[in-house]
Structure 1
Amino acid sequence: MAQQNKKTRTTLQDVADQVGVTKMTVSRYMRNPESVAEKTRVKIAAAIEEMGYIENRAPAMLSKSSSKAIGILLPSLSNQIFASFVQGIETVTKANGYETLLAHFSYDELEEERKIASLLSY
C-alpha cells in the first residue's frame, strides 16, 4: 500500500492522479462502475486497492440529511445476552443495507448521554 506513510487519508484526487483520470471519473466509478470504460475501471479498482482508499460517506450523508447507519447503545459488552442481541440486529440491518455503530456506556449516566450525542452525530 503506497499511502501507508502518508498521515492523511487517501482521497479521490489521489486515486485520480495515480490512474491519470479526473476526480469526477473516479467519483462516477464509485457510484456506478458500469458507467466507466472497462479498462479504466480495472485501473481505478487496482489503484483503490493499492492505495488503501476508503470512501468518505460524510458528504453523501450530509446531502441526503440521513445515513444508512443505526446506533446500538449497550450498558455493557460483557453480558452474552447483549452479544446475541447485537447479532440479531445486524442480521436485519445488513440485509437491508444498513451499517451498525456500537457503543457502550458501562452503566454510567453521563457516559450514556455522551454516547447518545455521538451516535446522533452520524
Structure 2
Amino acid sequence: MVKKKRPTLQDIADRVGATKMTVSRCLRGGNNVSEHMRERIFAEAEALGYIPNRAPDLLSKSTSHAIGVLLPSLTNQVFADVIKGIESVTEPAGYHLMLAHYGYSREVEERSLASLLSYNVDGVILSESQHTDRTLRMLGTAGVPTVEIMDTHTTPFEQAVG
C-alpha cells in the first residue's frame, strides 16, 4: 500500500497565489492577512483536506500540547472512566492525550514511556507507582510534570492522585 502525499502549505499557496509563509501565518491565526485572502486560504485548505503538520512546532517551541497516559489495561472499565475524567480537564485546556498500553509489564511501560517522551509530551500520567530505574531516570531527565494515579500508598515520583 502506497501512502498518499498529504497536501502541504505550498500546495495551498500555489492555488491562491500567495507565499507559503502567508498561508502558514493565516492558518496559525495571524491578523496581517486580508480578509479576502484569508477566506481563499481556508477554502483551499478545506478543499484539499489539509492537515497541519505539528512537527515544526514540536521542534521550534518544544511543546506538543499532548499528555502521555500509560495504562496497564484497556479492558478494565475503571481505566475507561479514568480516560474520560482526564479528557474532561485536558481537552478544554487544548491538550490531547497520547495513550500507551503496557499490560502490567514494567519493561513495556519503560519502552512506552520512551516512545511518548520522544513525541515531546508536555506531561505524563502513570497508572502505578512501581517503575524500573530507567523509567525513573527518563522521567527525571524529561523534566515534565508527572502524576501517578490509582496508588496513593507509596511515595510518588512527583505527585499522586487516587
* TM-score (structure 1 length as normaliser): 0.87
CA distance in 1 between counterparts of 2:54 and 2:34 reads: 24
Indicate conservation of the 8 Å contact 1:90/1:100, yes or no.
Answer: yes
Give the partner amino acid of 1:101: M
1:36 partnered with 2:30: no
Max Rg structure? 2
Alignment-derived partner of residue 60 in structure 1: 57
Indicate conservation of the 8 Å contact 2:27/2:42, yes or no.
Answer: no
Give the partner amino acid of 2:4: K
Counterparts of residues 1-122 of structure 1 (less than 5 Å):
7-122=4-119
Query: Gaps (5+ residues) in structure 1?
Result: none
Deviation of residue 11 (structure 1)?
Answer: 1.0
CA distance in 2 between counterparts of 1:6 and 1:17 reads: 23
CA distance in 2 between counterparts of 1:23 and 1:6 reads: 24
Give the partner amino acid of 2:97: T
Deviation of residue 33 (structure 1)?
Answer: 4.6
Deviation of residue 28 (structure 1)?
Answer: 0.9
Aligned positions, number: 118
Deviation of residue 113 (structure 1)?
Answer: 2.0
Alignment-derived partner of residue 129 in structure 2: none
3-state DSSP class of the match of 1:35? coil
Give the partner amino acid of 2:43: A
Residue deviations 1:26-48 (CA, integer Å, cap 9, x gap):
01101225321111111111111
Q: Which has the higher contact order (CA 8 A, sep 6+)?
A: 1
Give aligned-pair identity as a percent: 58
* TM-score (structure 2 length as normaliser): 0.67
Which is worse superposed, 75-84 or 32-41?
32-41
